[in-house]
Chain A
Amino acid sequence: MAMPALREATVTQATTARGADLVLIALQRAGTDVVFGYPGGACLPIYDALPDHPWLKHILVRHEQGAAHMADGYARVAGRPGVVMVTSGPGATNLVTGLASAYMDSIPMIAITGQVSTALMGRDAFQETDVIGMVTPVTKHAFLIQRTEDILPVIARAFQVSMEGRPGPVVVDIPKDVQISEGSTRAGEPRLRGGHAMRDLDERAFDEAAELLAKARKPMIIAGHGVRIGRAHAGLRELAERLDAPVAMTLLGIGVIPDEHPLAAGMIGMHGSPRTNRAINAADVILGIGLRFDDRVTGKLSAFAPNAKIIHIDIDETQIGKNVPTAIGIAADSKSAIDALLARVQKKTHPEWRAALDADRAKPKLAQFEDRMELAPRPVVRAIREIASPDAYFVADVGQHQMWAAQHLGFTDPDRFLTSGGLGAMGYALPAALGAQVGAPDKEVWALVGDGGAQMTIQEIGTAVQEDLPVKMIILNNGYLGMVRQWQQLFFNGRISQTPITSPDYVKLADAYGARGFTVERRGELRPALEAAKRATGPVIVDVRIEREANVWPIVPPGGANADLIEGPSS
């Protein structure tokens, strides 16, 4: 039997190789060194070839949805596409939620799906699904490889498509016979067909935007995920200071300007700060960069920013004018756009505007209610922040705890908060945290989850144990699907329907998987448990029994205008 290294050399130096080897060679050429996957019949040739490519680390997940979320978390932290490898049929169908989440959040990802052999396709073969048809709406692109010689150029092209312009997931579906056949290892560069390279900057539009900003008396900036993806936060801060314009952030824009910066205005939208939402309502010019103005940001569209002219800059031209009418729309990446504006705008001051905003700072109305609670959500989140390392990553699942995390963790760095912002996929946090930990092995990674989302992907704690990934999973456990319960309470006449949910004993569960577990039921137990989690060298679950009926405040009623937000239980 050939030794792996010898076999690897043989494979990479040969003029032909099996399709399965070509897949792995293509990944190597693209700079991939880790894959999140799950083997099965239609990708067995690739898994058979895997030991011959020891440079590639494979993380064996417990469910394919977990693989996609792990690749997502990895990509956000490592700054390059996460790679997933699964089998046909259920392997591919299980990916869909993770692909859709990555698509909506502009996360680069490559998903290699095994497919039944070409002779069986369309015959309802065992574990056959129409992968291309299924994933098309939730991916940037999807390729079906029908010839072995196409493997190298198509996978190279898939990486290119995933990264260029607005990033996103790309699926490469490879039938089993294509994996088994021989093909050339010398395939050339990918055919650069289609292609959507960014156009030259529209200088005139930037001139007009600068002119509008110069005339503004009440300017606001709204920064989205595009600012983080474009590594434009330093320029954004300079631009905000130059314009004397407060910066509101979307959920995925959190951290683009440090919380303590005087121009940081906090999160906008459904659970944004009242002060920020009121400021947007009063602004006369809004500069939106790297966001799509989705409904969670705008609230009722017809009432959004009624006094403002909107300048919208996004790398994705199809977002401009889609949701809000724009005075000036510019298709450009955030960094180039901000640099172009910095070259045009002069220093401005708006003392009256700033003073009005400062006078409107939210009062800590919730404190009186928190005192009555044994474990109120906000102090729990603050304690996590205080105990975690300053450069820790935080991954939030979806629901009430996600909003508490966004509101109260307090970020000084643009890259430390991961969450499924667009799709809102419960079950995201634990696997995404594992991916983040793989991407940043020397950093602390804390996953904040609810007891509903925890039970959607809890099996990935097995992956954490097997791979020895020291993720700290903090379950904010209130015995409810809390956000839905909150909506039932506030907007459905208090009629509680199917939202109370039981949980397993998470300490026993952690123990059964070989992880450590703690339960926190009293204030005094919180910090010792979090300190122990911080010190742990392996995965930890901390089950924090928070106040059962605590709500997320403020909240804009569904379909309502941001100005109509409910600030708290007393309003």
Chain B
Amino acid sequence: MTGQRFRLVVEREVGALERVLGVARRRNLGVESLSVTSTDPQTWNVQLHAREVAPAEASLALRQFSALTNVRLARIEEV
């Protein structure tokens, strides 16, 4: 499976995951899979696997994830 994997650290707050999914929807990332795990009581670790999108769109999505108030950290990797 190819594409991009976005790794996010998201504060555990009402609506935080919906906001992440909102960015994925508006950037048309084509979510293949989504996993949410927790390592501490304050945050979720989100892994979002997107189907292959153009680098510019992926970069814009990364910046939009980073701009969300509840997102502490966002990065992207090719898979």
Contact = CB atoms under 8 A, between A and B. Distances in A.
A180 interface: no
B48 interface: no
Nearest to B60: A322
A322 B27 CA distance: 10
Interface of A is mostly: mixed
Interface in A188-227: 193-194, 196
A537 B10 CA distance: 53
A140 interface: yes
Contacts of A318: 60, 63-64, 67
A133 B72 CA distance: 21
Interface residues of B, number: 20
A504 to B, nearest CB: 40
B69 A321 contact: no
Contacts of A137: 22, 26
Contacts of A194: 11, 68-72
Give chain A's interface residue range (CB within 8 Å of chain B): 10 to 19
Contacts of B60: 318, 321-322
A357 interface: no
Given A193-B11, A321-B60, A136 B22 contact: yes
B64 A196 contact: no
A348 B5 CA distance: 47
Given A132-B14, A133-B15, A144-B14, A316 B67 contact: yes
B18 interface: yes
Nearest to B64: A318
Interface string B42-60: 0000000000000010011
A193 to B, nearest CB: 6
Nearest to A137: B22
B19 interface: yes
A142 interface: yes
A161 interface: yes
Contacts of B26: 137
A434 B38 CA distance: 48
B51 to A, nearest CB: 20
A140 B69 contact: yes
Nearest to B70: A194
Interface string A123-151: 00000000011001100111110100000
15 contacts: A133-B18, A137-B22, A137-B26, A141-B69, A143-B14, A193-B11, A193-B70, A193-B72, A194-B71, A196-B67, A317-B67, A318-B60, A321-B59, A321-B60, A322-B60
Given A133-B15, A194-B69, 9 more contacts: A132-B15, A144-B14, A161-B69, A193-B11, A193-B70, A194-B70, A316-B67, A318-B63, A318-B67
